[in-house]
Structure 1
């Protein structure tokens, strides 16, 4: 009777670990989506910065705010784009770090699931022999 309850406990634990693994995989997929979005934004902002660097100091620069183009100082526009690039780069580093943590958790969770499956199989094999 005790091996049956132990088997049930192991199966419940296995189910919980499988649910955790599924959640981790969803979190990893979400991280990849957000990272992709930031990577695109970084590329766009770097392109804008290159274009701004080509302009002369007295060139008129306009910023789109809603449906309106507003005149902006070239130095201010340059500083804003650099700040945006800095922010996006920091977010990408943060996402990379989070992704690494999630992948480590995923790997340890997979190992735990394999061990639980082996224990369940050995208990079931012992039950069949008895």
Structure 2
């Protein structure tokens, strides 16, 4: 019975670690979504620019003039990179959720084993 309790304790700790991993991944996903939205808004601003209007990039405390083609290329590259990271993060989240479900099943089985093991001696004692 002590083995089952120790196993249950270990499974619970693993489950908690997986929940923390999931939370971290979800936070990462939210951060990436915000960055993607920011860059998409910048991309829309570029589309509204008229020919000859200037684009400035903030570098430290200084605004530097930047070529429109270069700025658009940089933003498009960022969006592409962020999109790939989002896909990777979403896959990671699905994987962790699957592991959580599997661990949950193992915990339920261990609890059932603990209850079955704990209930049998009680029945014997009641008969005696």
TM class by shorter chain equals over 0.9
Please, what TM-score do these two structures have when normalized by structure 1? 0.92
Partner residue, 1:108: 102
- Aligned pairs, number: 124
Q: Deviations over 1:62-93 (max 9, x none)?
A: 10011111111000000000000001111110
**Separation in 1 of the partners of 2:8 and 2:89?**
29
**Separation in 1 of the partners of 2:86 and 2:49?**
29
Structure 1 window deviating more from structure 2 (98-107 vs 64-73): it is 64-73
Partner SS, residue 41 of structure 2: helix
Partner residue, 2:119: 125
Moved over 3 A (4+): none
Please, what TM-score do these two structures have when normalized by structure 2? 0.93
Runs of at least 5 residues in structure 2 that lack an aligned partner in the other structure: none
> Cα distance, 1:57 vs. partner?
4.0
Partner residue, 2:91: 97
* Aligned Cα root-mean-square deviation (Å): 0.9
